[in-house]
Amino acid sequence: MRYLPKQNITQNPDSTVSYFLPNIARFEPDMSIGPENDTFTIVNLAVVAAPVLYPSSFVQTLLNVWMKSSKSFFLQNRTVKEVLWGYEDPFLKKVPFPIDRKVGIFLPYNETLDGLYTVYNGQDEINKTAIIQSYKNKSTLSFWEGPCDMVNGTDGASFPPFVKKDVILHFFSSDICRSIYGEFDSDQVVKGIPLYRFIVPPGAFASPLVNPDNICFCLDKVISKNCTLAGAMDISTCKEGKPVAITLPHFLYASKEVGEGVEGMHPNKQEHMTYLDIEPTTGFTLQFAKRLQINLVVRPAPKITALQKIEFPFMFPILWLNETAVIDDEKAEFFRSTVTNKIKLLHLLEAVLIIFGAVIFLGFLASYLICRAQKVK
């Protein structure tokens, strides 16, 4: 379970608000189908990453010696807790110079802060409410080229009020090191509150051949086959060079070649898409599902014994995340009483006034026609 409360909220004199998002994740046994100590077979994170981080043939020869002495292979058995939050790697413990001996998908994560976010409060311009002015005191990320590097939209928790179905909603996600967008998909009702569902569309992950705006997200020309494939994004530049790529779960929307050789993939739009359910008057996100798959890019490395049988680069899925949230019953009741019911009352009043106006108009029209008929006689 992940907690997303804002911290250190500061009102600034320039009509902006600054805050941090704390990274806090806790294991909830009642919400899990198994314990944290379940063991499974997974690719060896350190073995796969080492030759990418140290491309020198001489250094790789030395790394291979330490890998063999620690009996490190391409695959390993690890617990869920170790893979997620980190473990001391036996191969890295053999390396005689100072490096971080721990590896893990979310290392470090807990007790860290995401931000500083600075967003407009809407006091001067209501249509800029919640729009990010800067992230970590910058309006760009330094990860990508051109417009891909810009921090666009909100943090996804809310948007400017009076959302229309024909708008594109931009939001920034530090998890994937980029801004992304949602398009209207359908009307939803959650706990009696009418909402608009915006989904992240296939175009956000499309090949630059289909969506030219994505060309500046294409960094790995090998895996993407010279930027012709859809559905995967190399984020190594924002992960300290580690060979990490993100996709949607089960390679949803990805080209067939992206998941080639990986068995057991069954993409399903309803289960694997990312969406935001937004109350249109306030712009608040009252329900969402963020789905993301983390993959390790495995590459041939002739100097590394554990990787000598790797003939071509491919993506090895590590895990996929299903982060969901919905407004709780107490807040939903408060929202219905303070917003939804009043909007319904306004709509009812509007309908009554329209009907009343139509009746008066028809009455005047009938009177006019009667008077005119009498004058003709």
Q: Per-residue pLDDT tens, the chain, 377 aa: give them.
A: 555 678 899 999 999 999 999 888 878 888 788 888 999 999 999 999 999 999 999 999 999 999 999 999 999 999 999 999 999 999 999 988 888 899 998 888 878 899 899 999 999 999 999 999 999 999 999 999 999 999 999 999 999 999 999 999 999 999 999 999 999 999 999 999 999 999 999 999 999 999 999 999 998 888 888 899 999 999 999 998 999 999 999 999 999 999 887 889 999 999 999 999 999 999 999 999 999 999 999 999 999 999 999 998 999 999 999 989 999 998 888 888 887 655 654 454 455 556 656 666 566 656 656 676 666 55
What residue segments make up the domains of the chain, in order of their start?
A: 161-327, 338-377
Q: Compute φ and ψ for 204, nearest 5 degrees.
A: -65, -25
95 token code pair: 């390396």
Q: Compute φ and ψ for 300, nearest 5 degrees.
A: -60, 140
What distance in Å separates the CA atoms of residue 346 and residue 156, rounded to the nearest whole number?
Answer: 28
What distance in Å separates the CA atoms of residue 211 and residue 203, rounded to the nearest whole number?
Answer: 6
Q: Compute φ and ψ for 212, nearest 5 degrees.
A: -60, -25
User: How are beta strands 112-120 and 16-25 bridged, if at all?
Assistant: antiparallel
pTM, rounded to two decimals: 0.85
User: SS3 of 43, please?
Assistant: strand
Looking at residue 168, what DSSP letter applies?
A: P
Residue 150 to residues 4, 15, 180, 246, 291: CA-CA distances in angstroms? 23, 21, 10, 19, 22
What distance in Å separates the CA atoms of residue 276 and residue 326, rounded to the nearest whole number?
Answer: 10
Which is it for the CA torsion 205, 209, 211, 214, positive or negative? positive
Q: Left (φ > 0), alpha (ψ -120 to 50) or beta: where does 215 sit?
A: alpha
Looking at residue 249, what DSSP letter applies?
A: G
What distance in Å separates the CA atoms of residue 211 and residue 231, rounded to the nearest whole number?
Answer: 12
Q: Left (φ > 0), alpha (ψ -120 to 50) or beta: where does 56 sit?
A: beta
Residue 96 to residues 51, 89, 91, 194: CA-CA distances in angstroms? 17, 14, 11, 61
pLDDT tens readout for residues 126-175: 999 999 999 999 999 999 999 999 999 999 999 999 999 999 999 999 99
2 close to 323: Cβ distance less than 8 angstroms: yes
